Structure formats: C-alpha cells, structure tokens
Amino acid sequence: MMFKPQIHEALKPLSFLIGKWKSISAKGAYPTINPFTYCEEVTFSSIGQPLLNYNSIAYNPNGPKPMHLESGFLRIKAAGTNEVAFMVAHNFGLTSLEEGTVKGNEICLKSVQIARMTFAKDPAVIGIERCYSLIEEGKLQLILSMETENIGLTEHLRVVYEKID
C-alpha cells in the first residue's frame, strides 16, 4: 500500500532535510589515513511521526562498490523546540547517539553516547560531531568530525549534496 504521510507538525524545523540527496563533492581525511573522495546518497524521510528516518550509503566513485552504510532516526524533542537527537547505526559495528539543535537551516549535533561491538576495528571512535547546513542554491552540506582514542576531534568528512527527488 502506497501512501504519502503528512509531515508531523513538530518536524517543521527539520523539513529542509526531507528528501533524497546525492553528493556532488565528498572528501574524507584523517591523520591516520590518506585523503580520499567518495560518493554518497542520503535520505531523510517521514512516515508521519515526530522523527525523520535516515539512510546513507557511501560508495567508491570508480564503481558501485559500497564503502559504508548508516541507518537511523532524527527526532525533535517536541513541537516548538529546537532540540534534536540523532540515533545512527554504522555497518562497521558502531552506534552513536548525538544531540544538538536546529537553528534556521542548520542542524549541529554532538555525540553523547557511543557504543561498539567488542570486535569492531581499533582504534575506538569516542566522539562524533556533525553539522548539516542548507547552503547556496539549495545544496546541503555535511561537515563531520571524529575523535578516536588516539586522535582528538578532527574534521573527517566534508560533503555537498544536491537534492535528487
């Protein structure tokens, strides 16, 4: 059964994220790895609840080989507030709970809890900060910083997306 749900009233501050986005520029770097480029598609969708469903797939620009998958939920505290929480599960064995605020067309989040499976790759990620911003010409930008047991909080990813639906 196909239906188009109404967007929950509480989601109005997050409505700029709704849709499917494809990277037009995606770069990664970290002190322990060589800089890289990649492609990514992210989707923020609603089924009428006061949260957005989130899915992301990053893949190699030279072929359709997946590199990284994420799924999660972006929830707003209540209608009329700007407090948000983002729960994300990563396919390499990490989950993060990030909290922050939405102001205008920008949402910035900081990890408050990270868990990982005991046999996940070392060194352990101990902190994540991410900021999504609507920038010129309706493009979406993500800046993601990461902290590990060995390296302090450092920018890891910078992506610019265009909406494809």
Which pLDDT value is given to residue 1? 46
Which pLDDT value is given to residue 2? 56
Nearest to 109 by CA among 89, 88, 86, 126: 86
Nearest to 148 by CA among 128, 132, 126: 126
Which pLDDT value is given to residue 123? 84
pTM: 0.93
Which pLDDT value is given to residue 21? 98
- How far is it, in rounded angstroms, from Cα 79 to Cα 82? 8
- How far is it, in rounded angstroms, from Cα 24 to Cα 41? 10
Which pLDDT value is given to residue 3? 56
Do 46 and 11 touch, CB atoms closer than 8 A?
A: yes
DSSP notation for 67-120: EEEEEEEEEESSTT--EEEEEEEETTTEEEEEEEEEETTEEEEEEEEEEE-TTS
Which superfamily does 9-160 belong to?
A: Calycin beta-barrel core domain (2.40.128.20)
Nearest to 54 by CA among 10, 20, 101, 83: 20
Residue ranges of the chain whose pLDDT lies below 50:
1
